[in-house]
Amino acid sequence: MGRPLPYGSPGVERVPDSVGLDPDEALRQGQRLIDDGFPFQAHEIFEGVWKATAGTHRELWRGLAQLAVGLTHLQRGNHKGGVALLRRAADRLDPYSAEAPYRLDVAGLTGYARRLADREGAVVAADLRPRLQRH
């Protein structure tokens, strides 16, 4: 599941902290990793760009990192954490919807994050209902 492992451990390779990708390459690699089922590694790429970016697009990268780590939480079965991060990501990305930086479909990403959060939020709510009788 792309879980973080200590450096040097066998398993999925971590993305180096100093990867230093330009935005277009970061988006290409991040999308590939998400498509391949490794949203945690995509999160690391987006987080690296976020931390290296100043100015108007900094929060866009933070939102993309939150979206990817929200997917990671869902993948690991942490529905509550995943829902919270997906909603936070959608709120952070939403201001960029009209601008569509880097040719991103920000409105589509925001809608996706909210729909997934709503669906997974229903799972969380269902899990919170007590089962008083066995069927």
What are 38-83's pLDDT values in tens digits? 999 999 999 999 998 888 999 999 999 999 999 999 999 899 999 9
> What are the percentages of helix, strand and coil residues in the chain, rounded to 5?
65, 0, 35
Look up tokens 């209902």; give the residue.
Answer: 129
Q: Number of folded domains in the chain?
A: 1
Q: At what angle do helices 79-93 and 58-75 cross, to 10 degrees?
A: 160
Residue 16 lies in a domain: no
What are 113-135's pLDDT values in tens digits? 999 999 988 877 776 666 565 65
Find the range with the poorest average confidence among 25-29, 43-47, 94-98, 124-128: 124-128
Residue 106 lies in a domain: yes
For residue 42, give every residue at least 6 positions away whose Cβ sits within 8 Å of its Cβ, in sequence order, or none: 29, 30, 31, 33, 34, 68
Cα-Cα-Cα-Cα torsion 33, 26, 24, 61, nearest 10 degrees, comes to 110
Q: What is the CATH number of the domain that holds 107?
A: 1.10.3450
Domain that holds residue 70: 23-125
